[in-house]
Chain A
Amino acid sequence: MIEFRNVTKSFENEIVLKNVSFRIRRGETKVILGVSGSGKSTILKLILGLIRPNSGQILFEDQDITRLTEQELGDVRKKIGMVFQEGALFDSLDVCENVGYRLYEDGHLQDTEIEQVVMRILGFVGLEEAIDKMPAELSGGMKRRVGIARALVGTPRVVLYDEPTAGLDPITKRTIVDLMIKLRDVEGVTTVFVTHDLHAAGIVASEYAETASDGRTLFRKGGDNLCLLNVQFIMLEDGNICFEGRYEDLMASQLPFIRRFVT
């Protein structure tokens, strides 16, 4: 679904990614780990076409997006939802306008129809009551959840998360991770999760969600659930991928950098 082929990206004279290659299959969850400044967020921006690589190819659904114009990239971006680090909600718009932004821009639906869609998605993240609030009135965790809701409009096939749990308390962090798991397992969304939070990444790799007969979402641990088998990790070190594999292999790795990171 998404493929990086020998991608190199530098900012001014600093090389952030060096000949990086990896593939993300449909339905897969790719967790990208690394220290701050290791190029994790750069990968997400490259997938969205917000920045262009110096060399190499980035394929989305077998189409090289590195040569597309900004207008052509619009069609690619419609298939991708992005959750930014701090939510990146538009300050001047209320929650309804933020979440329904894409629909208001398209102009295909009436305002009342958009409000219904927004309400349904806010229900998914458990924030129906915040529909009329401004971003300044929301807590950090609520902003992230609204950010997730905004990314879900238009039912994207891929959702990219840029450190969605950074700076949150453990309870709110757990809420965000549960949402990610629910989205992955209930909605079947391909996930790219950039983080340096190994605990959150561990939960994503070890728990899965299923819908109970009464409609509730239940979270279960371990087992050979397909959702968990599809979770793959990448570790970045100095612009290179130093590890690629499953969570258990990462934790068992004896590479000095990884040992330092996981302990």
Chain B
Amino acid sequence: MGNTIRTLFAAPYRFLLLAVWEIQSYTVLSIRAIGNLFTRPIYMREIILQMERIGVGSLTIILLTGFFTGAVLGIQSESALRRYGAVSITGQLVAITLVRELGPVLSALMVAGRIGSGIASELGSMVVSEQINAMRALGTDPTRRLVTPRMIATIMMLPILTILCNAVGMTGGWIIARYKLLLSSSQYWSDSLNALELSDVFGTLLKPIVFGFIISMTGCYVGLRTYGGTEGVGRSTTQAVVSASILVITADFFLNNLIIYLTPFINR
């Protein structure tokens, strides 16, 4: 009887133990990466290099995603709003949807796919080819040299990319509103901008900072834990994208609740 119960609970117990261990390791890596910001050396050249890779490198996919999302929002809102004779508020709908939700989340998911996977595969390759060990043997802390610059660069570039995504998305919505729905440009833009509150701007800037941290740390954590040669690098790459995407969407839920809670204080 005792043995049966032990066997029954062995698998969930192991899973729980592993989950706790993963969370603990992720937290330790995050704390060390943040702690490195307050001590020397800080690898400025590496930070700038990563900002260029993450920011400039992701610009095309972010602009395309933003533009077509805004345009689709414009098209879809027509059928929904026409029923109530409210096509004129298309600008509001596009702006609020983009700035509050789709801009930050879509930008984060695109960056998770491009940068999260890139970080995981780069660090994973360095692990399996013993470059990380070589770095340690030469007296360099890989967290300081590799993780912290990627974390700072992603946190700094994702809000900028999100703002650009929002702007281009609203432009996409304007093109539909102007040439398909035949709304005047002034009506669309004044509606869009008037609909936005300070809390929306706060939210659209806070979310990418948190998402940037999640994407970079997940990529670094998964990459540095890579094992099993080139096959392991592939596994880590996939795992980084999946984990970062799920964490971004989960964090979005909690951030939305936080922003809704803070809205009365921000808009006061």
Interface residue B180 (Cβ < 8 Å from any Cβ of A): no
Interface residue B137 (Cβ < 8 Å from any Cβ of A): yes
From 57 to 73 in chain A, residues with beta carbon under 8 angstroms from any chain B beta carbon are 70
Asked whether, in the complex, the Cβ of A105 is within 8 Å of the Cβ of B139, the reply is yes
CB distance from A15 to the nearest CB of B (A): 19
A70: which B residues are within 8 A, CB to CB? 136, 141
Chain B residues with a Cβ closer than 8 Å to the other chain, count: 15
Interface residue B131 (Cβ < 8 Å from any Cβ of A): yes
User: Looking at the complex, which of A77-85, A115-123, A233-241 is the stretch in contact with chain B?
Assistant: A77-85
Q: Name the residue on B nearest A162 (C-beta).
A: B130
Q: Which of B125, B126, B133 has the most CB of A within 10 A?
A: B133
Interface residue B1 (Cβ < 8 Å from any Cβ of A): no
User: Looking at the complex, which of A86-94, A184-192, A196-204 is the stretch in contact with chain B?
Assistant: A86-94
Q: Which of B126, B133, B135, B139 has the most CB of A within 10 A?
A: B139
CB distance from A191 to the nearest CB of B (A): 16
A82: which B residues are within 8 A, CB to CB? 134, 137
Rounded to whole angstroms, the CA-CA distance of A74 and B140 in the bound complex is 8
Asked whether, in the complex, the Cβ of A84 is within 8 Å of the Cβ of B134, the reply is yes
Interchain CB contact (< 8 A) of A90 among B134, B136, B137, B139: B134
Asked whether, in the complex, the Cβ of B134 is within 8 Å of the Cβ of A88, the reply is yes
Interface residue A48 (Cβ < 8 Å from any Cβ of B): yes
Asked whether, in the complex, the Cβ of A50 is within 8 Å of the Cβ of B129, the reply is no
B41: which A residues are within 8 A, CB to CB? 105, 107
Asked whether, in the complex, the Cβ of A101 is within 8 Å of the Cβ of B138, the reply is yes
Asked whether, in the complex, the Cβ of B139 is within 8 Å of the Cβ of A102, the reply is yes
B139: which A residues are within 8 A, CB to CB? 74, 77-78, 102, 105
Chain B 126-152, CB within 8 Å of chain A: the 1/0 string?
A: 100111011111111100000000000
CB distance from A234 to the nearest CB of B (A): 21
Q: Name the residue on B nearest A78 (C-beta).
A: B139
CB distance from B247 to the nearest CB of A (A): 27
Asked whether, in the complex, the Cβ of B138 is within 8 Å of the Cβ of A91, the reply is no
Rounded to whole angstroms, the CA-CA distance of A50 and B125 in the bound complex is 18
B140: which A residues are within 8 A, CB to CB? 101, 105
A89: which B residues are within 8 A, CB to CB? 131, 134
CB distance from B141 to the nearest CB of A (A): 7
Rounded to whole angstroms, the CA-CA distance of A149 and B139 in the bound complex is 16
Asked whether, in the complex, the Cβ of B141 is within 8 Å of the Cβ of A84, the reply is no
Interface residue A246 (Cβ < 8 Å from any Cβ of B): no
Interface residue A45 (Cβ < 8 Å from any Cβ of B): yes
Asked whether, in the complex, the Cβ of B137 is within 8 Å of the Cβ of A91, the reply is no
B131: which A residues are within 8 A, CB to CB? 88-91
Asked whether, in the complex, the Cβ of B137 is within 8 Å of the Cβ of A48, the reply is yes
Q: Name the residue on B nearest A106 (C-beta).
A: B139
User: Which residues of A are in contact with B by a Cβ distance under 8 Å?
Assistant: 45, 48, 50, 70, 74, 77-78, 80, 82, 84-86, 88-91, 101-102, 105, 107, 150
Nearest first, the 6 A-B pairs at minimum CB distance are: A88-B134, A88-B130, A82-B137, A74-B139, A84-B130, A88-B131
7 A-B residue pairs with CB within 8 Å? A50-B136, A80-B137, A86-B129, A86-B130, A88-B129, A90-B126, A101-B140
